[in-house]
Amino acid sequence: MVEHVDIPEGEIHEPKGVSLQDAGRVYISDGAGSGTWTDWPTGWAYYQDNGAAQVFNTTASKLSIDGAGSLTDETKLPLIIRGTGSLWNTTTDKITPIETGDTYDLRFDFPVTAESASPTQLTVEFDIGLGGSPSIVILERFLATGKTTPYTLSFGFPLLALTDTTTNNGIQVFCKTDTGTVTITNPSVTIVRNHPGSI
C-alpha cells in the first residue's frame, strides 16, 4: 500500500468535486479540513459615456456615464455577476459594490472639451446618500483644471465598500468647479474588484 504522501505527481487526483465545476471556479479551504467551490471572485469592467456633453459649475451635479460608448466592456466582470449584474449602474449612474467589505480599484477619465471663466479646480465627491445632491460624502478628489482644451483629467484610487449603506445605496459621483464651468464629454470609468468581502 502506497501512502498518500508518496503517490507520484502524475498519479495525484484533482481536488474533490472538480469534475462537477464550471470553468473559472476555485476551491477555498475553510481551515477546518474542508472547503467550498466558489466563483473566481475578482474581475473588472469598463464603462464609457456616449451622451451629450456635461457642463459642471460651482454647484455640485451628478456625473453621468451611460455605458453606450463603443469601448464599454463587461466581458471580464466577476463571475458572480457576469451576465446578471454590473459594477456601474448606467440607469442611476452609481458604482454598485457586490458586497460589503469588497475592495475596488477605480480609474476615471474626464475628457475636458471646454472651460469658461477660468476655473482652476474640479472637485469630485463620492456620495452614498440617495439624494440629488451630495449628502453623505465618503471621499473627495481635487483635480487641477485651467489647461488648454481639449485635455483629459485622469485619476485613480482604491475604494472600500466599508458599510452596508455603501453596498445598498451605491456610490454617486458629483462634480463642481471653484469658479466658472468645465465641460466634460464622454467620461469613462474602469472598476476592478480586487478582493471580495466574504473572504
CATH number, domain of 93, equals: 2.60.120.1120
The string over 168-193, giving b where at least 16 C-beta atoms fall within 10 Å of a residue's C-beta and e elsewhere, is ebbbbbbbbbeebebbbbbbbbbbbb
Residue 65 pLDDT exceeds 80: yes
Gap between the Cα atoms of 178 and 197, Å rounded: 37
Contact at 8 Å (CB) between 96 and 85? Answer: yes
Give backbone dihedrals phi and psi of 165, rounded to 5 degrees, phi first.
Answer: -60, -40
Q: What is the pLDDT of residue 13?
A: 65
Provide the domain limits for residue 14.
Answer: 4-38
What average pLDDT is seen over the chain? 93
Q: Given the DSSP bridges, would you call strands 137-144 and 61-62 parallel, antiparallel or unpaired?
A: unpaired
Banded pLDDT at 158 (limits 50, 70, 90): very high
Residue 104 CB neighbours (<10 A): 21
CA dihedral 85, 185, 54, 69 (to 10 degrees): -30
Give backbone dihedrals phi and psi of 175, rounded to 5 degrees, phi first.
Answer: -130, 145
Q: What is the pLDDT of residue 27?
A: 79
- Asked if residue 78 and residue 15 are part of one domain, the reply reads no
Total structural domains within the chain: 2
Range with lowest mean pLDDT among 15-19, 26-30, 173-177:
15-19
- Asked if residue 189 and residue 142 are part of one domain, the reply reads yes
- Asked if residue 89 and residue 32 are part of one domain, the reply reads no
pTM of the model: 0.88
Task: With H, G, I as helix, E, B as strand and everything else as coil, classify residue 18.
Answer: helix
Convert the pLDDT of each residue in 93-102 to its tens digit.
Answer: 999 999 999 9
- Provide mean pLDDT across the span 188-198: 96
Q: What is the pLDDT of residue 66?
A: 98
Q: What is the pLDDT of residue 18?
A: 74
Residue 86 pLDDT exceeds 70: yes
- Asked if residue 95 and residue 124 are part of one domain, the reply reads yes
